Each structure stands twice: as structure tokens, then as C-alpha cells.
Amino acid sequence: MTEGDVMWQRKWVLGNWKMNGRLATIRTLLTELLPQIHDAQQVQLGVAVPTVYLQEVTECLSGSRIWSGAEDVSQFANDGAYTGETSAAMLADVGARFALVGHSERRQYFNEGNAVLRQKYQHCLSERVLPILCIGETLAEREADQDEAVVAQQLAILADLSLDSVVVAYEPVWAIGTGQVATVAQIAAMHAFIYSQILSLCGAGVKIRVLYGGSVNAQNAADILAVAHVDGALVGGASLQPDSFAAIIQAAQTAE
Ligand code: 13P
């Protein structure tokens, strides 16, 4: 089996730094993290970082097993008069291996919906930047018993794209940055649902990774990663602490 095949059977642990860090703190974080992850040969690793630091992070991580990635990508494909935007081609040019698409904070603060997100997703595919589609319901939607309907609607951008692989991060909005983690039963039910939706949208042959995100930390990672259909974690706050992030990676390395 090639390395390319094996990664679809591994656990994935991706960090999302959000709008945090400075050149100096980033260098310290990576310098402290890298020596701690030597044993984690069975985990697919990455960090999504602020675009302005992407090239620096890519250089710091060259030769390591950690991918650098972007937190967002432009809806526009081609160079042009789009002030402030960063295209998928630019991300690829500075070494990004993946990009988050549709993080709930983008949906909330920038009103990103399916039409824009489908464009972003397609531009990533065109430039061989792996899109990681982020989905998840709000607390009000869950309380109204709409969680599956919302997630199904968010996944609909995957229809008719002829995909042979899909990576989704399920991040219930109410669990992000709150310390309130979804229960094992809630995670298991939603991840099974997401798998079934992807299979029906993309066909039986598609390779799938579904990551959980929302207050994952060194203490709860092992329990979360042991849940059926949880193929990894997308980690916010704890990815800014090298010891915590390394402990989560270690939990993924030993997860069944
Ligand atoms: P926290 O881990 O800080 O809850 O953030 C999760 C997240 O949004 C990752 O994309």
C-alpha cells in the first residue's frame, strides 16, 4: 500500500490556530512541538495557520511530517482585482497542503454559505490543495432537532463533484471554544450520519475521513478518538500549546 493510500486509514490531527500568533511565538511553538511528535508515525498531521504566516510555517515544517495549511481560501479562482483575497493557487505556491473551507467562524462572521463554499472547494481541488469542509450545527439548531438536517444541507456542496476522497470536520458550533464537548453518543450518531451522507453523495468508492472538532484537549482526546467513525480531530485552542497538541497527537497514535 502506498503512503497515499495509508493516509486514508490513519487518524488525522489538524490544528487550527485561528487569528493567533506572531512570528516569534510561532517559531517557539513549532520548535517545542517537533521533538515531541517523533513517535507519531501513524498519524496524519497538519496545522492551519494565518495566511500571512503560511510561508514561514511551511519553511519551519519542511522535512517534518506536519503539513502546513490555510484557514480559508478565496472564492475567486484567477488573479485579479480582489483586494485582500488569497487564491488557492497562491496557497499552493507557498506550500499549503490543505485549506479549511466553511469553518463556522467564516459562516458566522462572513456569512459564507453553500454557493461560495462550493466555489472555494472546487478551487482547492483544481490547485491540489486538499479542502477540509467544516460543518456543524448551532445549539439552537440542535435543540430544535435540526442538527442532521443542517449538516446534510452543509454537505450538499459535495454533490456532483466526482470526488474520490473527502475530508470533513464536524464541529458543533456550541462546542467550539466553550469547553463543552459533545457527548460520545452525540459524536457517534453524527459521525455515522455524516459517513452515510458522504457515501450517498459521492458513491461507495470514496475515501473518507471525518474529524471531530470542538474543545478537544489532552484530557478528552483519547475518548473522542475511540468513537466509531471518528477519524481524527481538528483542534483549536489546544493546538497553540505544544505540550497539549503533542498529547492529542499521542492519543491519536495509540487510538484503535
Ligand atoms: P477549540 O478546539 O478551541 O474549541 O476550536 C475548535 C475549532 O474551531 C477548530 O477548528
Q: Is 112 part of the annotated catalytic residue set?
A: no
Share the mean pLDDT of the chain. 96
Give the pLDDT of residue 256: 67
- pLDDT band of 66, cuts 50, 70, 90: very high
Rg (CA), the chain: 17
DSSP state of 166: E
In the chain, where are the structural domains located? 3-254
Task: Considering the candidates 71, 103, 112, 127, report the single residue annotated as catalytic.
Answer: 103
**Ligand 1 atom, smallest distance to 217 CA:** 2
Asked whether residue 3 carries a pLDDT value surpassing 80, the answer given is: no
Ligand 1 mutation pick, 12, 215, 240, max ligand atoms within 8 A of CB: 215
What is the H or E stretch that residue 99 is in?
strand 98-101
Displacement of CA 84 from its chain's centroid (Å): 23
Cβ pair 70, 86 in contact under 8 A: yes
Percentage of the chain lying above the pLDDT 70 cut: 100
pLDDT value of position 4: 82
For residue 212, pLDDT over 90 is answered with yes
**Cβ–Cβ < 8 Å for 223, 250:** no
Can you name the CATH fold of 3-254? TIM Barrel (3.20.20)
